[in-house]
Amino acid sequence: MKKLLVGIFLLSLPFLQAQQLQSWIRINNLGYLPESTKVAVFVSKENQPLSEFEIVDVRTRKTVFKGNITSEYRDFGPFAYSARLNFSQFNSIGTFKLKAHGIESPEFSIDWDVYDHTADFLLKYMRQQRCGYNPFFADSCHVNDGFIVYHPTKTGQRLDVTGGWHDATDYLQYTATSANAVYQLLFAFKEYPKVFIDTHKANGLPGPNGIPDVIDEAKFGMDWLKKMNPSDQEYYNQIADDRDHAGYRLPTQDSVVYDSTQLGRPVYLASAEKQGLLKYKNRSTGAANTAGKFASAFAMGALVLPEFYPNYTQDLKHRATKAFAHGTAHPGVSQTAPCKGPYFYEEDNWVDDMELAGATLYQLNQELKYQKAAKEYAYKEPLSPWIGKDSVNHYQYYPFLNAGHYALASTQNQKDRTQTLGYYEKGLTKIQERGIKNPFMIGTPLVWCSNNFVAAAVTQAQLYRKLSGDQKFHEMEAALRDWLFGCNPWGTTMIVRLPYHGDAPTKPHSSLYHLADYQTYGGLVDGPVYGSIYNSLIGIQLLEPDSYAPFQSDFGVYHDDVGDYSTNEPTMDGTASLIYYLASLENQARQKGTQKVMGEYDADGALVRGNPHKKQLSLVFTGDSYADGAQTIVKVLRKHQVKASFFLTGNFYAQPAFKDLIQTLKADGHYLGAHSDQHLLYNDWSKGKKRLVDHTSFTKDLKANYQKMESFGILKSDAPYFLPPYEWHDDHITQWAYQMDLRLINYTKGTLSHADYTTPNMDNYRSSETIYQSIIKEEKANGLNGYLLLSHIGTHSDRTDKFYDQLDRLIQYLKQKGYDLVSLNKNLGKLHR
């Protein structure tokens, strides 16, 4: 009985500790650039003031910095006491923890690479939101869109508008959000072209195509905008309406019928007509907001895209000028259309759209009339109207960022530029005055889509600083940045699975996640709302106990739960709008001359090499039927203290004879991964790689592989890298693996290490000495930095010349050449965002 009671106590200890924990330290979960402003926030349910804090180096466990408390707060939100912990003076690179009052923060990094690949990471969600051909599913949806409504002469006619992005978890599509997204993507590339990488094709499937992914995505959106603008007098505003809100379903299985006599979904014309096909109507007054957004996106496209698509962009200047003229002739707003319910994007302002259009057109053609018009529009709306407000209607002032001020100021003389930047300064001052009242310095309203306001404010602060050189808002900018990455009452980032290992949303309000367990990587979620808003909402039903319950308050409510549509739904436009700022953060590292953590990908999107700038590589072994080399390999790896990776089939894991071996490999700390359950050949050996498996059989087989791994305590989350059988695949296989939350990898070409399976009767037979010398030759010619050096854990008995007998010799050579033989996680970890 005594042993039983002790056991119960030990099992309940973590729960008791969680219950007793009354204080926390909130940090930026991604980490900090060495020279950035760095402030954490201590929060406590107890009113026990701090006097100092310290930073501990995780590696050495030594205190490396001590700081004093300068800002304290009482009775904020759910906390009795909170304080800002400023350690901006500490610039050392490494991994650290903050300590205060016996409380430790999570580990965090200070390094130049903490934001590498983050802008590209958000493109994962953009690709997932594609309508028409959707690369995430490798399938198509909404191919019959659509039929025209609210056109004086064309109502009921067909218009091909398939394409674009779904707006959020629903499948509505809006010109307002999509045109803004196109502009933001192009703007990010225009300002920071060296940040973005190429790992996907134009259709969104894995595999580089020679064009940065952000440009591929922007063009995809631009293709749709062109369809929504079929003539100089037609500017369409919306596809579908709130009849879309018919429960969870995948986009490729959308069964909503809008008109029994028409295929597809309705396409709404932008006009001053008050629209709404059923009970509810909007309050439209014109079309300048929509036309202005078309014009700015087309003009930015004409500036950026000719480098990549010279013929495609020939009509963009014409489209931009005609759209601007249409907006000038039709002042006012064309709001999105409701239908069954009174919910729509209640956009009330439009001069900001026309300012951005005029300023961008001036950048394009240098005609002074556009700069003059932009200046006049800027004067009419110097501040984004949401700034300083506690309450605004849904998308009442959109876009949340007035990018027109930056576009205009970039072209002005010093006097006029000072005036235009003064508009930014006045707005930022208002935000700062509100934010200084709380420990997180959050001065943006916590209304629906609150993270979009934060993204707008932090971007405005960066744009103002960039053009003016004024640093007065640097701490507020850092606070807004850190709010999105975990320095908030809940301690979580607001981007799905960023960082992958850390507190970030994992259960978004998404049909993809709810129905198929597909993750919405890179999506910026709506964000917290005031308690008064949350408590007034209907239909929210959390599916799991609230892990953030201690941190909910009237100040703000947030849940990482699929049932909370108000705070945890990713949005396309919010995601697109944050890409510019993340690119600016990575660019700071590039300005310091630091090298981007890069990898290499094959033509079908498999990651085939780690960082070529670091003298490190990984040893990889695969196995299906044979394991005759296991004893030798284990012995040599132990001798040299090397951690390797073993990708084994379900056949291998299931063989009783290999059970002890697998347990030994796991105990020695090697990576154990999947290699298909039945060692299937996915594609034939022809140049076209004809696919031999369908999605269902692929998924079923790979799941079976992981199920057998679970019997050894190896979860899929422990083994996120997957190496295809026969080292052979195509872009669909890569994508199907990604759907399963796996990263497909393959060996680095250049050596013959993988040929150790060949037998003397084969035409492609290679002796072990030939294989060994191929590695030496490649090392001398090109180096082996980042290489995934693949061979087999065993081979057919017909091969008596075993390459694994050369492993000791090979490792000695590589170490003599200065290579660090590292695990896959270390070699590829920064690339797995």
Inform me whether the pLDDT recorded for 116 exceeds 70. Answer: yes
Cα 463 from Cα 455, distance rounded (Å): 12
Tell me which residue of 521, 515, 511, 539 sits closest to 169, measured CA to CA: 511
Residue 338 lies in a domain: yes
Cα 25 from Cα 412, distance rounded (Å): 44
Residue 429 lies in a domain: yes
Burial of 691 (0-12, 13-18, 19+ CB in 10 A): middle
pLDDT per residue as tens digits for the range 191-229: 999 999 999 999 999 999 999 999 999 999 999 999 999
Residues 558 and 628 grouped into a single domain: no
pLDDT per residue as tens digits for the range 252-267: 999 999 999 999 999 9
pLDDT per residue as tens digits for the range 664-711: 999 999 999 999 999 999 999 999 999 999 999 999 999 999 999 999
Residues 545 and 606 grouped into a single domain: no
CATH of the domain at 49: 2.60.40.10
Looking at 110, 131, 152, which one is the last position of a domain? 110
pLDDT in the model for residue 3 = 37
Q: 31: helix, coil or strand?
A: coil
pLDDT in the model for residue 16 = 35
Residues 669 and 736 grouped into a single domain: yes
Interval 482-504 mean pLDDT? 96
Residues 479 and 330 grouped into a single domain: yes
Inform me whether the pLDDT recorded for 80 exceeds 70. Answer: yes
Residues 170 and 217 grouped into a single domain: yes
Looking at 542, 572, 590, which one is the last position of a domain? 590
Element (H, E) at 4: helix 2-20
Element (H, E) at 699: helix 695-710
Q: How confident is the model at residue 832 (pLDDT cuts 50, 70, 90)?
A: low
Tell me which residue of 165, 177, 294, 312 sits closest to 234, measured CA to CA: 294
Residue 489 lies in a domain: yes
Task: Specify the residue for token string 């050495």.
Answer: 60
Residues 6+ apart with CB under 8 A from 772: 803, 806, 809, 810
Q: How confident is the model at residue 597 (pLDDT cuts 50, 70, 90)?
A: confident
Q: 478: helix, coil or strand?
A: helix
Inform me whether the pLDDT recorded for 133 exceeds 50. Answer: yes
Residue 182 lies in a domain: yes
Residues 106 and 122 grouped into a single domain: no
Residues 54 and 136 grouped into a single domain: no
Looking at 55, 77, 110, which one is the last position of a domain? 110
Residue 500 lies in a domain: yes
Of the given ranges (13-27, 287-301, 517-531), which has the lowest mean pLDDT? 13-27
Report the predicted TM-score, pTM, of the whole model to 2 decimal places: 0.94
330 within 8 A of 392, measured Cβ to Cβ: no
Angle CA 760–762–768, to nearest 5: 50
CATH of the domain at 745: 3.20.20.370
Backbone angles phi, psi at 629, to 5 degrees: -90, 0
Average pLDDT for the chain? 95
Task: Specify the residue for token string 């009671």.
Answer: 5
Residue 217 lies in a domain: yes
Residues 158 and 290 grouped into a single domain: yes
Residues 134 and 93 grouped into a single domain: no
pLDDT in the model for residue 500 = 87
Residue 595 lies in a domain: no
Alpha helix positions (H), 517-629: 531-536, 572-591
Residues 102 and 124 grouped into a single domain: no
Residues 51 and 149 grouped into a single domain: no
Structural domains in the chain (count): 3
pLDDT per residue as tens digits for the range 735-760: 999 999 999 999 999 999 999 999 99
pLDDT per residue as tens digits for the range 161-185: 999 999 999 999 999 999 999 999 9
Range of the domain at 747: 600-831
Residues 661 and 717 grouped into a single domain: yes
Element (H, E) at 600: strand 600-601
Inform me whether the pLDDT recorded for 6 exceeds 60. Answer: no
Enumerate helices (H) and strands (E) in the chain, giving the number of each: 23, 24
pLDDT per residue as tens digits for the range 619-650: 999 999 999 999 999 999 999 999 999 999 99
